């Protein structure tokens, strides 16, 4: 008689058994259990398995549940050899130990048979005995539980992932140099955890390599990936949110922080604000300096990627989450104009605002000086760019191997204020680039435009990418 497996492939435990079945090459009658509809709570199912869990294996008149026990049973009865679960006592003890590690570590405590979408009850239900809460999948009052995700991050990134990385530093697989049940169990759990809290490859290279080996198994896609995709898809569909909302460090007091909020709202995405009180020195703490050594706000953390400067953050958000490029066009000339206006904002407008406001909020000044007020309202004394910025464009042109015509603008005699130049560049700054009928100014915007249009690769733009984990 063909064994029957009662299953719901959203469950990592079920997928561990499906992987084992495929690895053994045996035929099993798969019986789906709709847990959302309560099929695991029917009298017939409870009679078979009073713990009402999946997977449950029925082999003739024998019934067993718990994926680890099921997998060991299947190898013992149907395996052609003992490779997946050795008979040698010492080797088997190692495999057993790794499987107990799988069911006992915080990853499994939080992922197996739980899910991440819950109906909130009491505030103190989020954490119990140092573990993540035990949420239930429900169909009403759905929302992403950031507390659970944070609990997962702490439990996995600082404990469970580290433990697994240590195991894999010694062996190719988690229990030795060959594939065992321990790998099949743990990969189902870790792949689910990775979908919720991505594993930083630079921090956990052994886990990353091991996952690649597991994903290369001929039966991995059918036995694990299919159910994993359903799990992730269900969570995203039910919540209509990205599982891990990007975190923005800052304060609504800051104009650059507010600009990021405006961008996020325009994109229709959620950001989690972590308040940074610069008046109290929150931006100078070791934790924040590790995240952003320039100790500025805003700082964006999106998974294991960290970036700062509001203009770069906004461009990144549009590139990753925008439905189209209307806020930050891909067209080189239109993007160059947007870049130029953003550099104008950071180099002139915001700089003058900061100079004006700083004496009031930091030094106790009672009024804005006439000189600062004039710079803001009239835009005097600072619209012209230093000639050093012109030299940066010349260096870029030479580095790209481009021929160009250099037209000297003598600032000392006011050539930048002539009608011809003002028509070309109403801000009367240098450098100004004319490329056929396209005109752009600000050295940063010019250099980016040149590199994107004429560069053989993107090496000149690599400075715009922040390292994972922060740092320029």
Which residue's entry shows tokens 């104008």?
344
- Say whether 332-464 and 247-321 share the same fold: yes
pLDDT at 401: 86
Determine which of 120-129, 172-181, 362-371 has the lowest per-residue pLDDT on average: 120-129
Mean pLDDT within 257-286: 90
pLDDT digits (tens, 9 = 90+) for 445-456: 888 889 889 988
What are the distances in angstroms from CA 179 to CA 186, 192, 200, 439?
12, 20, 24, 62
Determine which of 111-120, 200-209, 392-401 has the lowest per-residue pLDDT on average: 111-120
Count the Cβ atoms, other than its own, within 10 Å of residue 361.
Answer: 12
What are the distances in angstroms from CA 128 to CA 109, 124, 131, 137?
11, 8, 5, 18
Q: Which residues pair with 64 in a beta bridge?
A: 57
pLDDT at 132: 43
pLDDT digits (tens, 9 = 90+) for 16-26: 999 999 999 99
Q: Where are the alpha helices (DSSP H) in 197-297?
A: 205-215, 220, 226-239, 255-267, 286-291
- Residue 440: which residues within 8 A CB-CB, separation 6 or more? 333, 336, 337, 340, 432, 433, 446, 449
Active-site residues, by number, are 11
Residue 209 pLDDT > 70: yes
pLDDT digits (tens, 9 = 90+) for 106-120: 455 545 434 433 333
Label the pairing between strands 438-441 and 432-435.
antiparallel
Which position has the higher pLDDT, 470 or 222? 222
Identify the top-confidence range among 265-274, 306-315, 458-467. 306-315
pLDDT at 445: 82
Of 1.10.3720.10, 1.20.120.1750, 3.40.30.10, 3.10.105.10, the CATH number of 247-321 is 3.40.30.10
Rounded Cα–Cα distance for residues 293 and 300 (Å): 13
Q: Spell out the domain ranges in the chain.
A: 4-239, 247-321, 332-464
pLDDT at 413: 79
pLDDT at 154: 53
In CATH, the number for domain 4-239 is 1.20.1050.10
Determine which of 322-326, 395-399, 455-459 has the lowest per-residue pLDDT on average: 455-459
Identify the top-confidence range among 66-75, 236-245, 349-358, 390-399. 66-75
Mean pLDDT within 341-362: 70
Helix (H, G, I), strand (E, B) or coil at 5: strand
CB 469 within 8 A of CB 299: no
Determine which of 38-47, 293-302, 331-340 has the lowest per-residue pLDDT on average: 331-340
Of 3.40.30.10, 1.10.10.10, 3.20.80.10, 3.40.50.10420, the CATH number of 332-464 is 3.40.30.10
pLDDT at 472: 30
Which position has the higher pLDDT, 431 or 104? 431
| Percentage of residues in the chain having pLDDT higher than 90 | 42
pLDDT at 99: 92
Rounded Cα–Cα distance for residues 355 and 349 (Å): 10
Which residue's entry shows tokens 């429900």?
138
């Amino acid at each position: 008689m063909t064994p029957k497996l009662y299953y719901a492939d959203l469950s990592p435990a079920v997928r561990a058994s499906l992987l084992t079945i495929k690895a053994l090459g045996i035929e099993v009658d798969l019986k789906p259990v709709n847990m959302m509809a309560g099929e695991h709570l029917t009298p017939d199912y409870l009679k078979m398995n009073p713990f009402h869990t999946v997977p449950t294996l029925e082999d003739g008149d024998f019934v067993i549940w718990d994926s680890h026990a099921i997998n060991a049973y299947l190898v013992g009865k149907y395996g052609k050899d003992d490779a997946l679960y050795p008979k040698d006592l010492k080797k088997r003890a190692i495999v057993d130990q790794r499987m107990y590690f799988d069911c006992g570590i915080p990853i499994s405590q939080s992922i197996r048979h739980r899910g991440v979408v819950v109906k909130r009850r009491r505030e103190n239900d989020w954490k119990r005995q140092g573990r993540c809460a035990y949420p239930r999948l429900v169909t009403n009052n759905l929302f992403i539980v950031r507390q659970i995700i944070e609990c997962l991050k702490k439990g996995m990134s600082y404990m469970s992932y580290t433990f697994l990385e240590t195991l894999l530093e010694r062996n190719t697989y988690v229990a030795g140099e060959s594939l065992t049940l321990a790998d099949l169990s743990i990969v189902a759990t870790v792949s689910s955890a990775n979908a919720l809290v991505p594993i930083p490859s630079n921090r956990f290279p052994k886990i990353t390599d091991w996952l690649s080996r597991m994903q290369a198994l001929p039966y991995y896609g059918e036995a694990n990936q299919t159910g994993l995709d359903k799990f992730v898809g269900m969570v995203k569909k039910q919540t209509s949110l990205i599982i891990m909302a990007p975190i923005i460090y800052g304060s609504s007091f800051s104009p650059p922080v507010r600009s990021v909020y405006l961008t996020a709202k325009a994109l229709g995405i959620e950001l989690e604000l972590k308040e940074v009180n610069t008046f109290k020195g929150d931006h100078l703490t070791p934790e924040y300096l590790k995240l952003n050594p320039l100790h500025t706000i805003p700082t964006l953390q999106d998974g294991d990627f960290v970036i700062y400067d509001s203009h770069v953050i906004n461009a990144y958000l549009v590139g990753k989450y925008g439905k189209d490029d209307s806020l930050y066009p891909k067209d080189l000339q239109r993007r160059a104009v947007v870049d130029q206006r953003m550099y104008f904002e950071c180099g002139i407008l915001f700089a003058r605002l900061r100079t004006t406001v700083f004496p009031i909020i930091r030094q106790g000044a009672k009024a804005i000086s006439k000189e600062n007020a004039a710079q803001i309202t009239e835009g005097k004394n600072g619209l012209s760019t230093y000639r050093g910025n012109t030299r940066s464009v010349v260096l870029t042109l030479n580095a790209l191997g481009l021929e160009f015509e250099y037209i000297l603008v003598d600032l000392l005699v006011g050539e930048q204020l002539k009608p011809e130049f003002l028509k070309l560049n109403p801000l009367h700054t240098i450098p100004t680039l004319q490329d056929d009928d396209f005109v752009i100014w600000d050295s940063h915007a010019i250099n980016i435009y040149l590199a994107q249009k004429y560069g053989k690769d993107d090496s000149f733009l690599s400075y715009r990418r922040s390292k994972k984990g922060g740092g320029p």
